[in-house]
Amino acid sequence: MNRPVRWLKPLPLRPRDAVHVVAPSGPFDRPSFEAGLAVIAERYSPVHGPDIFAAHRYLAGDDARRGGELSRALLDRDARAIFSARGGYGSARLLPDLPFADASHAAFIGFSDLTSVHGALQALGRVSFHGPVLTQLGRQPPAVREYLFRLLESPEAPPPLTGSATYVPGMAEGHLVGGNLSVLSRLIGTSYMPPLDGAVLLLEDVTERPYRIDRMWTHLRLAGVFSHVRGIVLGDFTGCEEKGADYSSADVLRELAREAGLPCAAGFPIGHGDINYPVALGTQVRLDADAARLTFLEGAVRA
């Protein structure tokens, strides 16, 4: 958790740049994928292999297929970005064999299960993009799509994002890390955990009942995560309610945040909800928890 990091930003994208499309996790719905592919094809030149539609149980093909595909994308010096088809499960299985140290300066975009890839990239000091996968991108409003393109193409800091609730007041500044709570908690004790000292921690999740959220959060606490980070940003916790309970997942998260005692704001439009704004992990941010406002202090790509 104390690894020093010098953050390396990707090169900016330009219209018609070549970009890879990969499926390192679960199989996906083809119409949703085609809708998202059409969005990026309007601006860039996406390429993918014919075997991207493979399926093996709960995976988009076996490890050799998925790992080979992502490895080729990481090593391609002619492509400026790597877009993920879907989350689900499976990317962590690939981590030991992926060529992160030799990877190009392409931007990596995805979320949910792709939190494991983000962690590995951040462990090496690389900025990456927690943002919509293609099966989600086609359903995103134009404002989110334009925000994504701006983030990938402009060296200027993007506009701030606003949440809906203050759980613990206060201010915090630091590099943004994190992503899916469930996946991030599985990186503890591995070399793929992102550097946490002085960080602002982003967490989101989907279909995890409140007691499971509590268990994973407690795992972070017992591992010392909250003694290293400076603040907590909570995105969407979608479909995380206990049927028939007299409490909500928000009640549980609010109580856990107060126990952690760090500035914390919730309800940011990041994650598995209807709106998923992209954010650049590894860049400097300021969290004003009182105003539930996340301000980006730098751009995500090189000038």
* Bridge partners of residue 107, in order along the sequence: 81
Marked catalytic residue, from 20, 130, 175, 272:
272
Q: Clarify whether 105 is annotated catalytic.
A: no
Active site residue 204: yes
Residue 83, strand partner residues: 21, 109
Q: Helix, strand or coil for residue 117?
A: helix
| Contacts with 118 (C-beta within 8 Å, 6 or more apart), sequence order | 108, 110, 128, 130, 179, 194, 281
Taking the C-alpha atoms of residue 163 and residue 206, their distance in angstroms, rounded to an integer, is 18
Q: Copy the structure tokens of residue 173.
A: 């500044």
Quote the CA–CA distance of 267 and 244 in Å, as a whole number. Answer: 23
Reference 78, options 129, 131, 13; nearest CA is 13
Of 204, 208, 249, 298, which residue is the catalytic one? 204
Do residues 36 and 133 make contact, with C-beta atoms less than 8 angstroms apart? Answer: yes
Set 112, 116, 182, 185: catalytic member? 112
Q: In the annotation, is 248 catalytic?
A: no
- Rounded Cα distance between 264 and 255, Å, is 11
Residues designated catalytic: 112, 204, 272
